[in-house]
Amino acid sequence: MQLGALDLDLDVFQGPFDLLTTLVLREEIDLLEVDLADVVLAYLADLERRGEIDLEATTEFLVLIAALLELKSRMMLPSEEDEQPELDQAEAAEELLARMLEYSRYRSAGLALIDRLAAEEGHRFRVAPLPIDLRRVTLDAATKAYEPIILAAAIGELLRVPPQLDLSHVARARITLDQRLSHLRGLLAARGSFDFDDAVLGADRVTEAVTIFALLELYKAGEARWSQTGPFEPIRVSAAGGAP
């Protein structure tokens, strides 16, 4: 819950809480006329109504209420005639404003760090202490971990073009959809009906798959239909106008 969403209905003010704080700092509303207890009760009632607590907004509210209470107490307590008060009303308002600005800077920095952490989600670096043999040595005494020739060889392997993949084991389609359509239409014209197994007798798996697509095209065009008496039984293909 943002503080700007907290609406107040007081004797001297009606509106959001952040506007009340701004008007008090500008001395457009006398802080002595503002009942801060009513503000706290209104905030607690709003929390109870929402059923949840925003720790950041609650912390900000506590900081502002504490600062306003301190400022109001300084304004209400009488000062000794022989002693000069530490801060007058104007200086206290300036101190309150400085505290609010400082809190706002820290809060903005915290939100920026949260956004940065969310953007780096999935990328974490292992934090480990420095090795014992390097804790009390100078840079001059440190030795290299790898030879330059090893690093150059590793980079060279990355720049090398990999060999071409051998795709000889991959089956290539040697039959077209038009060829299978002509084949099925020829069987329908010659026989009127036939078993699908007869249409793909001796063919490879790719040809069988293309034949299925060709049969679907014939069915879509209204040239053929098929039937099957049961699961795993032969598929009978017939002309659309003929007997099955």
CB 102, CB 123: distance < 8 Å = no
Find which of 6-20, 43-57, 228-242 is predicted with most confidence, using mean pLDDT: 228-242
Secondary structure class of 2 (helix, strand, coil): coil
In degrees rounded to 5, what are phi and psi of residue 168? -65, -25
Closest CA to 11 of 41, 43, 36: 36
The tokens describing 243, both together, are 């007997």
Q: 177-239 belongs to which homologous superfamily?
A: Structural maintenance of chromosome 1. Chain E (1.10.10.580)
Percentage of the chain with pLDDT > 70?
79
Length of the chain: 244
- pLDDT value at residue 57: 76
Q: What is the mean pLDDT of the chain?
A: 78
The tokens describing 3, both together, are 């503080």
pLDDT at residue 176 tops 70: yes
